[in-house]
Structure 1
Amino acid sequence: MDMPEPPFTEFYGAHFQRIAVQLYAYLGDHAEAQDLAQEAFCRALQQWPRISRYDDPSAWVRRVAWNLATSRLRRLQTALGFLARQREQHVEGPGPDRVALVAALGTLPANQRRALVLHHLAELGVAEIARQEGVAEGTVRSWLARGRAKLAAQLTPEVWHA
């Protein structure tokens, strides 16, 4: 003779809070604990005719909830490990020489500064810079010469080794 299954709502009301509190203590996140407890009870509801006949249906729900919590923590640890590996490495700030050079470049007219940066940092030739800027090659050579002269006047050995 089969015993009638107890109503799920009574079971839920009697055990939800206790399981959610246990998960909260384990996870340290109240909302997450409630979500996982809710998920475990949803899974129990889907199989309630079978689970309700267990000696202790709450043990089944508790086990499912704890398994969900453990899985969530593992996924979180995996995600955090991935993010940690993706972060850029910290590098020291610019040294005084770089600060002096950037400051000196900032005093140059824009065309001279662009020509110097493209030629010395981007390693573009005079012809490439002339094409990019839409000027004659002689103009680029003039910008480079004037820019270098102004930098040389500003970047004396005292500035470089201050």
Structure 2
Amino acid sequence: MRPINLIVVHCSASRCDRCYTEYDLTTDHLRRGFSGAGYHYYIRKNGDIKSLRPVEKPGVHSKGHNANSIGICYEGGLDENGRPADTRTSFQKHSLRVLVMLLLRDYPGSRLCGHRDLSPDLNHNGEIEPEEWIKECPCFDASSILSDPVPGNPAYL
């Protein structure tokens, strides 16, 4: 088994008003020359978690970080006009939280981050700031996944 120390969250950069299935994602990745989907997991708008690549096999999702990471992608990330936005449904938020919690249990000590957080620190201040992001993916702070409200709690509604 390969060592895992990083869990990276991505968005599919697809519009929230359109369907982008795991088949669509895999087909797009095959067209780009990948051997299949680059992510290990894909979360559909309805919350379904699709396993796309065995965890034992390195992903193709974060250049320079694939050897020791697991890639999770959620469907969406662009608003109806094609602009970056946090388009996660409540189902996706729940599924993402559960999946991340399970992965952190299986790979204790792993760092949770968004793809954008792996951008280079251009000003060398030790912090990746919005002006340094290569892309906005995902369009929310991935570290907030574990602090998102839990369904059933009054704060969630």
TM-score (norm 2): 0.20
Between structure 1 and structure 2, the one with the greater Rg is: 1
Greater share of helix: 1
Which one scores higher on RCO, CA 8 angstroms, separation ≥ 6? 2
